[in-house]
Amino acid sequence: MKRGTKNEFVVGYAKMFGVSIQKLEYLEQKILNIPYVTEVDFDAAPLEGKQLCVLVGYDIPVGATDYWILRRDFKRAVIKSAKECGLNRTEDLIEDYGEHFYFVFDASAWF
């Protein structure tokens, strides 16, 4: 299955709601440049409510002595990248799926 901006469902939702695919591609590239990122995927269906959900895969070494600091800094870097792209974090919790974090951003500025 294709991920991120290569996923035809993501592209379709973006077009349906008038969101530039270039904005998604730029966000995707910014996040992919963060250390320990393995992949980026989007749940674009919430664009209907002017939100964007971002699933970010990570591979932080479990044996790292500063593991929890790396995780914290990783999440902050994703949030910073999204903010630089005009997205603001919502009050939703950042969910941890073990190898992925799930972020919800307010995408109102993209409309």
pTM (two decimals): 0.93
Q: What is the pLDDT along the chain (111 residues), one digit of tens a residue?
A: 788 888 999 999 999 999 999 999 999 999 999 999 999 999 988 999 999 999 999 999 999 999 999 999 999 999 999 999 999 999 999 999 989 999 999 999 999
Closest CA to 45 of 24, 20, 16: 16
User: What pLDDT does residue 2 have?
Assistant: 86
User: What pLDDT does residue 44 have?
Assistant: 87
What domains appear along the chain, each with residue ranges and CATH number? 4-110 (3.30.70)
Record the tokens describing residue 65, joined without a space: 């002595």
User: What pLDDT does residue 64 have?
Assistant: 92
Question: What is the Cα–Cα distance from 110 to 47, expressed in whole angstroms?
Answer: 10
